[in-house]
């Protein structure tokens, strides 16, 4: 299911027709320009935010919250830590629902995910996705393949994505955090043999 509601964006828009790729920690198309990725995708802008100010200077893509979460799921399945981190705000946190902190910030997320990818070689299958505003809820089945054998577990992931607003910085997000996952909370099911 795609999210038909685009993330808020700067006034000037122009559609492009390129497929998405992850580059320089930002989601852009293969030509380095922003563009919709399918029906209902957000229109892109020709503006970016300088990390040291709120000046609009060049090209930053604006993606739907669904696109951001889907990109992190694909990076997870590819075991690509850096592509996964590009989807998370620098100060993002992962929690075991409701309030047990698993990791916060890129350094801790990198350490957690790199170890998980080596130890468990996980593969996620998306079973269902619900989108409401800036919240994406995924129901997934995770296949882990450790040295102890294969196991499977279901989980619910609740992602909060900071909207990509190029004209203002929200109270919860700095300029480098807009359009990225701010928080992920996981409800883990019991593992069972695969």
pLDDT bracket for residue 63 (50, 70, 90): confident
Residue 35 has pLDDT above 50, yes or no: no
Site of tokens 């919860």: 172
What is the per-residue pLDDT for 177? 64
By C-alpha distance, which of 155, 159, 141 is closest to 66?
159
Residue 30 has pLDDT above 80, yes or no: no
The reply to whether the predicted model has a pTM over 0.85 is no
What band does 135 get if pLDDT is binned at 50, 70 and 90? very high
Residue 120: strand, helix, or coil: helix
In the chain, how long is the greatest CA-to-CA distance? 54
Q: Give the pLDDT band of residue 176 (cuts 50, 70, 90).
A: low
Q: What is the mean pLDDT of the chain?
A: 73
Give dist(CA 47, CA 59) in Å, integer. Answer: 4
């Amino acid at each position: 299911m795609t999210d038909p509601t685009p993330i808020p964006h700067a006034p000037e828009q122009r559609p492009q027709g390129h497929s998405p790729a992850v580059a320089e920690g930002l989601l852009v198309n293969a030509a380095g320009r922003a563009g919709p990725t399918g029906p209902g995708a957000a229109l892109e802008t020709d503006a970016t935010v300088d990390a040291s100010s709120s000046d609009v200077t060049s090209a930053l893509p604006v993606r739907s919250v669904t696109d951001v979460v889907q990109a992190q799921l694909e990076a997870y399945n590819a075991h690509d830590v850096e592509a996964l981190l590009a989807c998370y705000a620098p100060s993002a946190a992962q929690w075991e629902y409701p309030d047990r902190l698993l990791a916060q910030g890129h350094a801790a997320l990198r350490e957690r995910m790199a170890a998980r990818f080596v130890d468990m070689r996980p593969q996620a299958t998306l079973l269902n996705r619900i989108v409401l505003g800036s919240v994406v809820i995924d129901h997934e089945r995770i296949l882990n393949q450790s040295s102890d054998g294969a196991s499977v577990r279901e989980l619910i992931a609740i992602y909060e994505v900071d909207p990509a607003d190029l004209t203002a910085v929200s109270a919860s997000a700095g300029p480098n955090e807009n359009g990225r996952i701010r928080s992920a909370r996981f409800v883990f099911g019991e593992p069972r043999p695969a």
